[in-house]
Amino acid sequence: MKPTRVRTELRGAVAILTLDNPPVNCLDRPTRQALLAALEDAERNAAVTSVVLTGARNFSAGADLGEFDNGEGLAEPTLHLTITGYLDRMTKPVVAAIAGAALGGGLELALACHARIATSTATLGLPETTLGFMPGAGGTQRLPRAIGLERATSLILSGQAMTAAQTLDYGLISEIGAEPVVDAGMALADRLAAAGPLPRLRDVAMDEPLAEGYLAFARRSLEKRPTTTTGQLYAVRALTAAATMPFDQGLELELRLFRELFSSDDARVARYRFLAERQAGRVPGAPHPLTVRSVGVVGGGTMGRGIALAFLAASIPVRLIETTDDRADAARAGIASELERAVSRKRISADESAARLASLDVSTELEGLSDADLVVEAVFEDLAAKREVFRVLDAVTRADAILATNTSSLDVDQIGAATSRPSQVVGLHFFSPANVMPLVEVVQGVNTSPQTLATAVKVVARLRKTPVIAQVGDGFIGNRIMDQYVRQAMQLLRAGVTPEAIDRALERWGMAMGPFRVLDLVGNDIPWQARKARALGETARPEWAIADKLCELGWFGQKSGRGWYDYPAPGRTESNSELPGLLAEHVQLSQAMTPEEIVDHCILAMTNEASAVLREGIAARASDIDLVMVKGYGFPARFGGPLYYADELGLDRVLLVIRRFAEAIPSDFFWTPDPLLVELAGNRNTFTRGTQS
């Protein structure tokens, strides 16, 4: 039996229509069909004088983005014309009673109703431009008529959500109603039914004499920004139509622009990223997570401080442990300084900063973690040291506490084996700076229980970060792939290409920073120590010899004033005049290489290794890998990630290039194409979108 997507209930003369398409009431085609039928029934029913439209749990988060890839997104009945057009023609008032989220098409549906009411915790917004396209169901035409052109333009171009209080101030909603909001909606619907002509936003005159100049300025500003999307530029065109054309003409232009956009490359990759975030962190079986009320952090260095700040920002009290009083004082001072910086930049208020600092306790006694629900270890990257910390934590923490390691590459199973509770051990690999970076790899050990995993995922979500589940393996998802990217950059040095040329080519292609600038930023000694720890006495591969030599000379990067570049003063970067002599000792052959060839070497190295990560089950899905690389490592979002990018290039072409590299450097075992890549290319499949026709 198919679920009822829209439930109808008669309360006296009011028809209550409740959207019920869990979890967020997406307006997929079956829901749209049910909604239109329910509206038609209410309009025809002589016993009904008014309608309240609401949602179970949330009002509606808008369109099902997957439908724009399978052809259902604009199939009838469309929200864009059919449903909103029917609302415009109804003779009975329809009140949108909003609880939870009314986003995208959900807000456009509410805008087509005759009035709106919301709970104090509701959020309303049009986030389409953050997804590569623009509102297409009247949002650019009705929102300016509801709250004014300037406010509407700002909200549409930023994609930011509004609070209920903001929408009340702006005039978007009539009032803030108490729970259950349907009761207040019924009262408002009764008043509208008795008042006479129904208010419709389409009938509101646009009195904006400076509109064209304002929007022309907005367009010019957008055109100067490298991050501007086509969706934002198209939205300005639609907003201009709202200010200068009759409503129906503006609506027609909006829909035409929307149709152009939703099939564009920008919109497709944005939908891919959005759906990737929706899928990431799903735990099979959905076990009930534990509640985390207090957290311990072991280690007060850069990473430990960042982790503590992330939990404090989520209003979770933190006890941070350091080894000495001096180090404890330094950790507390560092956190206080970071909070002061946030206040000075107006990211938080002085009161919020004080509240967060009051929720921080810094100590040198691990026994102080006896009441913590979750403890995150953030000591230096050494397996023996981490195992010793976990052995002590096992003894001093509650039996039901979860123990997490922030290791970036070490074996979580070996760390968990130092305890009597390996089922409660999990990896939480934060990226630096931990309080800023939006991604956490949640590493599931072989003994990690589903409940522990679910709790870790929920905690990461509370921090407003994206959790991606990884299995145990050297470097997990991101660092393993980045190792091969950097290794190829080192191979290019041996072929006579300079660090500047490599960085320049990759940055122009779209990487946030080239590999050598990144190494100098994080410190060349960090991967050097990791290589030494993982080599276990084995001979290092020759491509790492140059990087090792830099570290032996003390050229650690920005923190030492010299690395792949020189740093004579803060904010200044110059070429390292001594580097060419060092490189000359390691160059095998000197060959000219175009920027495109440099990009192919480094980016397709990511793709080949990402294929292996997927094939080995370290990541559950291709989109998880792409999400990690975009959010954690600066892979350009417009290309979707190394696997999506390979699909767009065509796996046949990728395979051809990789085999050419293998022939050119037969000693480089890495350029053996991964078996999964070979299989998918041979079957005309892709990593991210299934079988191709």
List 468's β-bridge partners, or say none: 441
Cβ atoms of 149 and 243 within 8 Å: the answer is: yes
Q: Cis link prior to 673 (omega < 30° from 0)? A: no
What are the backbone dihedrals phi and psi of residue 686, each rounded to the nearest 5 degrees, phi first? -130, 165
Radius of gyration (C-alpha) of the chain in whole angstroms: 28
Identify the residue whose tokens are 């939870």: 100
Integer Cα distance of 6 and 84 in angstroms: 16
Cβ atoms of 86 and 113 within 8 Å: the answer is: no
List 376's β-bridge partners, or say none: 297, 404
Q: Closest by alpha carbon to 374, among 458, 288, 280?
A: 458
Identify the residue whose tokens are 């129904």: 198
Cβ atoms of 140 and 217 within 8 Å: the answer is: no
Integer Cα distance of 85 and 78 in angstroms: 10
How far, in whole angstroms, is CA 278 from its chain's centroid?
Answer: 9
What are the backbone dihedrals phi and psi of residue 368, each rounded to the nearest 5 degrees, phi first? -70, -5
Neighbouring residues of 379: CB distance < 8 A, sequence distance ≥ 6: 298, 299, 304, 385, 386, 389
Residue type, 545: A
* Count of positions (residues) in the chain: 693
Integer Cα distance of 322 and 366 in angstroms: 9
CA dist 507 to 480, 504, 517, 518, 558, Å?
21, 5, 10, 11, 19
Sheet holding 318-321, edge to edge: 360-363, 318-321, 295-298, 374-377, 402-405, 425-430, 439-444, 466-471
Integer Cα distance of 97 and 354 in angstroms: 37
List 17's β-bridge partners, or say none: 8, 53
Integer Cα distance of 324 and 328 in angstroms: 6
* Total Cβ atoms within 10 A of residue 336: 14
Q: Which residues are catalytic?
A: 408, 429, 441, 479
Integer Cα distance of 210 and 218 in angstroms: 12
3-state secondary structure of 507: helix
Cβ atoms of 82 and 112 within 8 Å: the answer is: no
CA dist 411 to 454, 472, 475, 531, Å?
20, 6, 9, 15
What are the backbone dihedrals phi and psi of residue 619, each rounded to the nearest 5 degrees, phi first? -115, 145
* Total Cβ atoms within 10 A of residue 39: 22
DSSP string, 399-464: TT-EEEE--SSS-HHHHHTTSS-GGGEEEEEEPSSTTT--EEEEEE-TT--HHHHHHHHHHHHHTT
CA dist 574 to 139, 171, 566, 571, Å?
49, 55, 5, 10
Per-residue HEC secondary structure of 625-683 comes to HHHHHHHHHCCCHHHCCHHHHHHHHCHHHHHHHHHHHHHHCCCCHHHCCCHHHHHHHHC
